[in-house]
Structures are given as structure tokens and as C-alpha cells.
């Protein structure tokens, strides 16, 4: 502060100059005003500068700790080694799998409402930094509002400090054990990993915690094998003739309406772009996001029902590559993309891993064209989508059931797994077909 108040006039003059200095950032003066008033408060600027230099707030250099390398896109060497080790463990299905589970819908009601209101009004950069510190204080360090800076950010030092204090308050509210009985029961004895998420919804802020758990394979080695075929008409078809989930019906009608809506938006966008309009409407819509969510829910429900109705069995599912599946009709391609078939194998692997069930991927080449009786692979065996009728032996059945039986037979087929491409697989199937013909006396 300035200690120069010999009389009352000097005091009011100094106070007015100080208020003018503080409001300069909000109401900047022009060149003429600055030329008139600059000599009058120049002495005050000098005094304030000495006062700011004496305070030395946040002037110490920030020491970046080693774990700041955990930024996105810059993983450390130890993390790369751990990720590589996890991928190798996934390739060995007979070993215990490490599964990451999440505990969701933890509402942060214990936090000061004023902090939440302030957090709503801050920028996304601040939210991202606060998210990092929340994960840091929940997993590695005790909440400390005066903890030295750890992460690199583009914010100023002041707002960096505010982010640390905000994250420490949120983490402290969680560490005070003010959780619901369900969350405390699930997290009891668990070690939380660094995958902590802070989500903002319409009814407030929610915290998602995750932990790692090692699940051993509990399936017996001699358990029966159930083959799973993936399709659009039926998301999951097992080798014992059961069907789970479908894209037909309500989902198909919803996809048709969404596609028509996006086509109308695309035409409107092209028309406005031709007229020179800069701000163009987006082709995405809420109905499209809702369709994706409903399809995922239907797939998850189908996979859960399939695994629940086959206790004590091990599964063989096809190694599906949706990226290479294309049709001549554009409507069929849009129909196939909307069905989200790539989600089905991922969901099968995840549900089997968290339950300790053996699930093995097999090569799916010609599984829908190969006859499960004589092993003859030909596109002519599929007269339509639902029917399979072999042109050699005359075996007729449901197309998805025939493919599921072939996938079950390919489990532990080392000769077929050694084939490198589709051509080699077809040669092998033709050899087996010739062997079947000789064994059954066919010409």
C-alpha cells in the first residue's frame, strides 16, 4: 500500500488514482486521455510496481514432475511396455485376462454448489485441466489445494492455481466416503486406476471411477463349443439354432427415417453452399445419435442373453472385418453401417472376459458359403439371405445356422488357422470336399 496521506485531499487523490488504475483494464483510455492524466498518477504506478515486485506471487519456476508425461498422445516408455504386455495377454485366451471395470453415476452432491456454478462458466481448457487434477488427487496423491503445479497448460498461473483448488475440493468430497452403499460395496478393496472421468449432465456433475481386476478363465478345457455367427437379420446366431437380436423392425424403420432426413439436409446444404452461404447446416442429427445408441443396446442385450443361456460352454466367434464388406447398392451400404456389426465381436470378447469364459476368434472366410456337411464353398449355395442349399449334396438349412456350425467346427482347427489368405482357405476347403466325396462314394 502507499503510505502518503499527509492530509485529507491527498488521501482522496490517491484513492481516486488507485481506482482509476484498477479500472483501466475494463475501461481503457484513449491516447488523448492518457496524455492528460498520465503525469498525475505516474507516481502511483511506480509505487504499485514496487508493491507488486515485493509480493512475488507465483513467480517461482514450476517444476514439472515425471508423471506429467501422462498427457494424451505422449505415453511414457513404461506405459508403452504395459500396453504391449496387455495386448500379448489378450492373444493368449487360456491365461487370466485383466479387465477394467467402471463405477458410474456417482453424483457429486457433497461439493459446494458455488464451486459447481463457477465450474459451469469456465472454459473447456480449464475443465480439461481440472479433470487431470481430479484423476491425480483421486488415484495418486491426497487432495491438496496448495499442491505445486504438475501438468502443462496454456492457462495463466492464477487460473492454474484455481484449477488445482477446484480439483482438490472435488477429490476431497469423494475421499470423505460420502458415497452410496452400492458404490462403497463395489469399490471396497479395489485399487482405482487413472481412468477417472468427470461428466457434466443436465442435472449436475457425475464422477466415473474405474479399477482393474484380473479374471481367471473358469471354463473347463473339455467344455462344449458353441459357434456364433454375426449378421444383420439376426445379430447373434448360435450353432444350436438360437437367434438373438435383430436390426429389422423398429431399428430398420428408424434407420430409414434418419437416412431420409440426412439426405434432405445434404441437399439443403449443397443449395446454400451454391448460393455462397458461409454458415451451413450440419448433416448430423439427434435421431442419428439415438439410432446408434439403440443399436448398441440391442447388440449388448443379444450378447448377454446368448452367454446367459449357455452356461458352462466355450464360444467360437468369427473374426469379422466390416471395413472390407461393400455392396453395389448405396442403400445397402448405409444399412450395413447402421447395423454396427463390428460392435458384436467386441461385445462377445468383453462379456466373455469379465465372466471368465473361454472365447476364441476363428477365421470367417467362406463360413457363410461353405456347406457344413460336404465342405463345398460356393456362392450359389445361398439362393437368398436366409436360406442355405448346397448345390452338391442338397443340404438345406438356415443360412445363419449353417455359418454358426462352420465356425464351431473351425475352433481349434490349426490347419485352417495356418492359412494366410482367402485363396488358401478355399483350396483347403476344396480338398476337404474331395475327401468327403471319396469317403461317401460320390463320383
- Considering the domain architecture, whether residues 207 and 234 belong to the same structural domain is answered as no
- What local confidence, expressed as pLDDT, does residue 119 receive? 57
141 and 30 within one domain: no
In the chain, the percentage of residues whose pLDDT exceeds 90 is 20
**Among the listed residues 60, 56, 66, the one whose alpha carbon sits nearest the alpha carbon of residue 150:** 66
* DSSP run (H or E) holding 244: strand 243-244
Whether this prediction's pTM lies above 0.85 is answered by no
Domain span at residue 16?
8-51
53 pLDDT more than 70: no
Residue 70 in any domain: the answer is: no
Q: Is residue 347 part of a domain?
A: yes
pLDDT at 316 over 90: yes
- Is the pLDDT at 406 greater than 90, yes or no? yes
- Looking at the fold, whether 143 and 21 belong to one and the same domain comes out as no
Boundary (domain end) residue, out of 164, 197, 215: 215
pLDDT at residue 226 in the model: 94
The three grid cell numbers given for residue 236, joined into one nine-digit string: 447373434
- 155 versus 42: the higher-pLDDT residue is 155
Residue 33: inside a domain, yes or no?
yes
Q: Per the domain annotation, does 63 fall within a domain?
A: no
Pseudo-torsion of CA 326, 366, 239, 395, nearest 10°? Answer: 120
**Are 246 and 146 members of one domain?**
no
Residue at which a domain ends, from 186, 215, 244? 215
Domain assignment present for residue 299? The answer is yes
Q: What is the pLDDT of residue 69?
A: 40
Same domain, residue pair 188 and 302: no
| Separation CA 419–CA 40 (nearest Å) | 89
Residues 287, 399 within the same domain = yes
**Grid cell digits, residue 189:** 478393496
Q: Give yes or no: residues 294 and 266 share one domain.
A: yes
**In sequence order, what are the beta bridge partners of 215?**
97
144 shares its domain with 233: no
- Same domain for 249 and 165, yes or no, is no
Q: Which of 89, 121, 140, 135 lies closest to 353, judged by CA?
A: 89
340 pLDDT above the threshold of 60: yes
pLDDT: is 130 or 377 the higher one? 377
Shared domain for 205 and 261, answered yes or no, is: no
Residues 343-388 have pLDDT tens digits of 888 999 999 998 899 999 998 889 999 999 999 999 999 988 889 9
- Is 79 a domain residue? no
336 has a pLDDT exceeding 60 = yes
**From 29-33, 88-92, 105-109, 346-350, the region with the lowest mean pLDDT:** 29-33
Residue 70's pLDDT band, with cuts at 50, 70 and 90, is very low
Inside any domain, residue 261: yes
Measured CA to CA, the distance from residue 84 to residue 345 in angstroms comes to 21
Assign 150 to helix, strand or coil.
Answer: coil
Q: Which residues pair with 318 in a beta bridge?
A: 362
Same domain for 187 and 326, yes or no, is: no
Lowest mean pLDDT among 101-115, 175-189, 321-335, 336-350: 101-115
pLDDT of residue 123: 59
Count of structural domains within the chain: 3
H helix or E strand, kind and range, residue 230? strand 225-230
Do both 21 and 101 map to the same domain?
no
Whether 87 maps to a domain, the answer reads no
Amino acid at each position: 500500500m502507499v503510505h502518503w496521506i499527509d492530509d485529507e485531499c491527498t488521501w482522496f487523490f490517491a484513492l481516486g488514482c488507485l481506482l482509476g488504475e484498477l479500472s483501466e483494464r475494463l475501461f481503457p483510455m484513449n491516447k488523448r486521455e492518457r496524455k492528460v492524466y498520465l503525469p498525475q498518477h505516474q507516481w502511483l504506478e511506480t509505487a504499485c510496481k514496487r508493491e507488486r515486485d515485493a509480493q512475488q506471487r507465483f513467480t517461482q519456476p514450476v517444476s514439472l514432475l515425471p508423471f506429467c508425461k501422462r498427457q494424451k498422445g505422449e505415453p511414457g516408455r513404461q506405459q508403452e511396455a504395459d500396453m504391449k504386455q496387455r495386448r500379448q495377454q489378450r492373444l493368449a485366451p487360456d491365461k487370466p485376462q485383466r479387465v477394467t471395470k467402471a463405477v458410474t453415476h456417482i453424483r457429486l452432491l457433497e461439493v459446494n454448489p458455488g464451486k459447481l456454478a463457477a465450474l459451469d462458466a469456465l472454459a473447456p481448457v480449464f475443465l480439461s485441466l481440472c479433470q487431470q487434477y481430479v484423476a491425480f488427487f483421486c488415484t495418486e496423491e491426497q487432495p491438496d489445494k496448495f499442491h505445486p503445479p504438475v501438468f502443462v497448460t496454456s492457462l495463466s498461473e492464477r487460473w492454474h492455481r484455481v484449477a488445482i483448488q477446484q480439483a482438490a475440493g472435488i477429490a476431497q468430497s469423494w475421499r470423505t466416503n460420502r458415497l452410496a452403499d452400492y458404490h462403497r460395496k463395489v469399490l471396497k478393496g479395489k485399487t482405482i486406476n487413472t481412468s477417472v472421468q468427470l461428466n457434466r449432465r443436465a442435472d449436475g456433475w457425475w464422477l466415473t471411477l474405474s479399477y482393474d481386476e484380473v479374471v481367471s478363465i473358469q471354463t473347463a478345457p473339455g467344455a462344449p463349443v458353441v459357434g456364433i455367427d454375426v449378421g444383420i437379420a439376426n445379430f447373434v446366431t448360435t450353432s444350436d439354432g438360437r437367434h438373438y437380436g435383430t436390426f429389422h423392425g423398429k431399428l430398420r424403420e428408424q434407420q430409414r427415417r434418419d437416412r431420409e432426413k440426412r439426405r434432405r439436409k445434404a441437399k439443403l446444404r449443397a443449395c446454400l453452399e451454391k448460393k455462397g452461404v458461409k454458415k451451413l447446416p450440419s448433416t448430423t442429427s439427434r435421431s442419428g445419435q439415438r439410432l446408434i445408441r439403440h443399436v448398441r443396446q440391442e447388440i449388448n442385450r443379444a450378447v448377454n442373453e446368448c452367454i446367459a443361456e449357455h452356461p458352462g460352454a466355450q464360444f467360437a466367434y468369427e473374426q469379422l472385418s466390416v471395413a472390407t464388406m461393400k455392396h453395389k447398392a448405396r442403400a445397402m451400404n448405409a444399412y450395413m453401417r447402421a447395423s454396427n456389426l463390428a460392435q458384436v465381436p467386441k461385445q462377445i470378447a468383453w462379456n466373455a472376459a469379465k465372466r471368465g469364459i473361454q472365447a476364441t476368434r476363428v477365421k470367417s472366410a467362406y463360413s457363410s458359403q461353405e456347406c457344413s456337411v460336404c465342405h463345398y464353398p460356393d456362392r450359389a449355395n445361398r439362393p437368398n439371405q436366409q436360406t442355405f442349399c448346397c448345390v452338391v449334396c442338397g443340404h438345406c438349412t438356415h443360412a445363419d445356422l449353417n455359418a454358426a456350425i462352420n465356425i464351431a467346427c473351425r475352433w481349434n482347427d490349426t490347419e485352417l488357422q495356418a492359412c494366410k489368405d482367402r485363396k488358401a482357405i478355399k483350396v483347403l476347403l476344396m480338398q476337404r470336399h474331395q475327401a468327403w466325396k471319396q469317403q461317401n462314394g460320390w463320383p
